[in-house]
Chain A
Amino acid sequence: MSVEDRLRRAAHSLDESIAGRTPTSLPSTRGIAMRRLAVAGIALAVAALIAIPAIRRGIVTDIETTDQPGQRGEEATRSGEEGGGGPTEPGTRPGPGSVSGKPDGGQGTRPASGSSVAGISRDRVAFMSNRDGNSEIYTMNTDGSSQTRLTSNSAGDGEPAWSPSGDRIAFASNRDGKNAIYVMKSDGSGQSKLISVGGNGVNVPDQSFSPAWSPDGTRIAFVAVMPAGPTKGKGQIWLTNADGSDPRQLTFGDRYDSRAPSWSPDGTRIVFARTTEGFDFGDDGLWVMSADGSDMSWISYSQGVLDRMPAWSPDGKQIAFINRRRIMTMRTDGGDRKALTDTSDYDAHPSWSSDGSQLFFDRDPDGNYGFSCGVTTEEAGCPYVVGPMPPSVWRMNADGTGLRTLSNNMAGDWWPAFGRPR
């Protein structure tokens, strides 16, 4: 049979497969769609409200730029015509906070964490952006203004994490060919690899990413993915001293894939996300362990939909995480689960402000960036795919109110990390 005939027959099989799956004959499906459309409608209204001040001044924010493919370059030019932000690096655009008359887009919510009455704040948000063609690390004020590029090379840099004292940023980079953990000063200077592969007498797998500083700044937890062998692609949580010495593996198990470590504020425990080969979902989700890898306990009672990307709150009482596209919080014992966001987009990578009043996260209409798998990831098996609608960084109050976007460029911004540089 010719390939032409096979393709036509395969297409006909699809016709038969979906027979009856029309909107009118699937009321439950249609109901879901209509509910989501209603949510989308509300989101559209929110977007319009937030965008009004910017539109009046000729600025097109990220909210309304998910447009017909092919139009983004034009709108990028339009938004780039306006200045008004703080000092920016070449290739960056002023954040919407620099042009919005109110810190929360006029929604009347409380100001950003750390903002003083005079509007002077030390707080910054590090994040990833591909606005210059590949992923680099940037920082910005908590209102999106004064965006500054910290890394600049042809490799991928990303997954930033501030040291608690704010003077350094750990991040992942593949500049030497493999994803590895690096550290730099908060102004981008002094970039150096934390652990050399095979160095220090310990065979750390050469695909490492997702660094997380201990609250006292002396240690860094991270994820290392096995590059080969029967556990290829599976991650384990590792720990090293902040100077790269004494790397050691905290989680084990060939069937387990552990990701996204986050420290308790007292530095005694680490929460992380774990999935199990075979996906029986019996105890997948969020786990907590002591900082030495002992006393593991499962805290995620998510009824089948995985909890991922945990972030321990500064007061130690809550964990923010994502579940089914939403940013959620729960108590550290797994109780009192609350959804803070609920849109048709994929919300991911929650990061608390140091006072716990704000959450930063990224929102991706396509869901391509919601993964913790390193900055380049072909080898790790999870490439970032740029969809028609790029992700953007958002901020909200810890109760889910005061939602606003901090991105206004046409490229993707994601993986925010709150910090207080000095």
Chain B
Amino acid sequence: MAGREVGSLAGNASEPSLLRAAESFEEFYRREYPNMLKLAYALSGNRWAAEEIAQDGFVAAHRKWSKISGYERPGAWLRRVVSNLAVSFSRRRLVEAKALVKLAALRHDPLPPLPEPDEEVWKAVRSLPKQQAQAVALHYILDIPLSEIATTLECGESTVKAHLYRARNTLAERLGSTKEGS
């Protein structure tokens, strides 16, 4: 195992800081987990792997926790990672995706399927360009301000507005809905 030979070193030299990080990280994990799970589910479209994706985001966050915890919005970093992981997952080659599905199925119970009309909505969202899909998911699932979405996607608020505008137009066409309310 890669870490075996340095396990004792990690236990001695890094344990205090590791424990401190884990303590505050735990709160972050509890608060953000449901939202990241929804984000992963919607953007990956995979009810078997959503938890895997969400947890991958948290593992990545934990690796950088000493820095991320100092950010003004550590959640934005996490949302970006999870939304990227989820989009990447949905775009992978079918063979690989199914292999991962199998892997995920070994670890977790799948999330329950969504009602068909709602699954249709998320499927249409996943067919959008990446940043449009992410903007829609962040806006409707997490219900966060445009400024937060802009921070997460590393773009301006006007760009977020444009993403949402175009996404709603496209979705209205593909879903046969009206654009009312947009």
Q: How far is the CA of A365 from the CA of B22 in the complex (A)?
A: 20
CB of A120 within 8 A of chain B? no
Is A396 among interface residues, defined by CB-CB distance under 8 A? yes
Contact indicator B95/A257 (Cβ below 8 Å)? yes
Interface string of A11-22 (1 = CB under 8 A from B): 101110110011
Most interface-central of A32, A33, A70, A308 (chain B CB within 10 A): A33
B145 at interface, CB cutoff 8 A: no
Give the shortest distance, in Å, between A83 (CB) and chain B (any CB): 27
B81 interface residue (CB < 8 Å to A): yes
Residues in B neighbouring A400, C-beta threshold 8 A: 1-2, 4
Q: A304-B102, A306-B99 are in contact. Are A7 and B180 (CB under 8 A)?
A: no
Q: Which of B10-66 contact A (CB under 8 A)?
A: 10, 13-14, 18, 22, 25, 29-30, 33-34, 37-38, 41-42, 47, 51, 55-56, 58-60, 62-64
Residues of the B chain whose Cβ atoms lie less than 8 Å from the Cβ of A15: 38
Comparing A188-196, A247-255, A292-300, A367-375, the segment that makes contact with chain B is A367-375
Q: Is the CB of B29 within 8 A of A23?
A: yes
How long is the Cα–Cα vector from A385 to B129 in the complex, in angstroms? 13
Q: Does A245 contact B (CB under 8 A)?
A: no
Q: Which of B4, B30, B34, B87 contacts A18 (CB 8 A)?
A: B34
Q: Which 7 pairs from chain A and chain B are nearest by CB?
A: A4-B181, A382-B93, A45-B10, A10-B121, A2-B180, A13-B118, A10-B118
**Does B179 reach chain A (CB closer than 8 Å)?**
yes
**Does B102 contact A8, Cβ atoms closer than 8 Å?**
no
Contact B93 A281 (CB under 8 A): no
A361 → chain B closest CB, angstroms:
11
Interface residues on B, range: 35 or more
Which residue of A is nearest B180, CB measured? A2
Q: Report the bound CA distance from A342 to B3 in whole Å.
A: 8
Bound state CA distance, A281 and B182, in angstroms? 46
Contact A382 B71 (CB under 8 A): no
List 20 interface pairs A-B (beta carbons < 8 Å), by A numbering: A6-B117, A6-B177, A7-B136, A10-B114, A10-B122, A11-B42, A11-B141, A13-B115, A21-B34, A22-B34, A37-B62, A41-B22, A42-B3, A44-B63, A49-B9, A233-B94, A279-B99, A342-B1, A400-B4, A402-B5
> Which residues of chain A in 273-308 are interfacial with respect to chain B, using CB atoms and an 8 Å cutoff?
275, 279, 281, 304-306, 308
- Contact of A8 with B99 in the complex, beta carbons under 8 Å: no
Contact B64 A67 (CB under 8 A): yes
Q: Is A9 an interface residue (CB 8 A)?
A: yes
- The interface of chain B, by Cβ under 8 A from chain A, is 1-7, 9-10, 13-14, 18, 22, 25, 29-30, 33-34, 37-38, 41-42, 47, 51, 55-56, 58-60, 62-64, 67-68, 71, 77, 80-81, 84-85, 87-88, 91-96, 98-99, 102-103, 106-108, 111-115, 117-118, 121-122, 125, 136, 140-141, 143, 154, 168, 171-172, 175, 177-182
A368 x B88 contact (CB < 8 A): yes
Contact residues in A for B122 (Cβ distance below 8 Å): 10
Of residues 325 through 373 on chain A, the ones whose CB sits less than 8 Å from some CB of chain B are: 339-344, 365-368, 370-371, 373
Interface of B is mostly: helix
**Contact across chains for A279 and B80 when beta carbons are under 8 A apart:** no
Cα distance, A354 to B112, chains bound together (Å): 50
Give bound CA distance, A14 to B112, whole Å: 9
Contact with B along A382-416 (1 / 0, CB 8 A): 11010111000000100011110000000000000
Contacting residues, chain A, for B18 (C-beta < 8 A): 41, 44-45
Partner of B102, one of A11, A306, A367: A306
Q: Whole-angstrom distance between the alpha carbons of A67 and B108 in the complex?
A: 29
Instruction: List A contacts of B22 (CB < 8 A).
Output: 37, 41
Is the CB–CB distance between A45 and B64 below 8 Å? no
Residue among A14, A66, A385, A387 with the most chain B CB within 10 A?
A14
Q: Decide if A388 touches B177 in the complex (CB within 8 Å).
A: no
Asked if A17 and B111 make an inter-chain contact with CB atoms under 8 angstroms apart, the answer reads yes
Given contacts A3-B172, A17-B114, contact A42 B60 (CB under 8 A): no
